[in-house]
Amino acid sequence: MPDQTVNVTFDPAADPQFVFEPDEVTMTAKGKVIFLRRGASPTWTFTGGTVKDDTLKQFSASVQGQGRSLHIDDDFRDKQKTPYEYTVSVQLDGTSFTSPDPVIVNDPGS
């Protein structure tokens, strides 16, 4: 599936602070993962995203809509099924928070 959507809920007082739905995204071709801000009247904004161990330089991130969404573009250069952990950064009232490590799986065999 080229483009995937992930709904993100963030609450600094909750445990866990971040909820990703779905928690794992499978990409089967070049496309983007679109993270959307969710929750009851969210006042936090996306400030960035980073994919870990991106040795093929196939991922890039951009904040859209004044922080209402985050896009991670996947050039899908890896020819093996590979999971990539990533982090998402958000800001609330001038304080920055970074998510734990959900996963993007590139699966050319699907």
CATH number of the domain enclosing 23: 2.60.40.420
The reported pLDDT for the residue numbered 77 is: 92
Q: Which domain holds residue 73?
A: 4-106
Condensed to tens digits (0 to 9), the pLDDT of residues 99-110 reads: 987 899 999 886
Polymer length in residues for the chain: 110
Q: For the chain, percent helix, then strand, then coil, each to nearest 5?
A: 5, 55, 40
Structure tokens at 47: 């400030």
Q: How confident is the model at residue 16 (pLDDT cuts 50, 70, 90)?
A: very high
Largest Cα–Cα distance in the chain? 43
Condensed to tens digits (0 to 9), the pLDDT of residues 60-70 reads: 999 999 999 99
Task: Quote the mean pLDDT of the chain.
Answer: 93
Structure tokens at 34: 């679109």
Name the residue among 109, 106, 107 with its Cα closest to residue 72. 106
Task: Give the CB-side neighbour count of residue 39, counting CA atoms within 13 A.
Answer: 18
What's the number of domains the chain is made of?
A: 1
**Structure pTM?**
0.92
The reported pLDDT for the residue numbered 4 is: 95
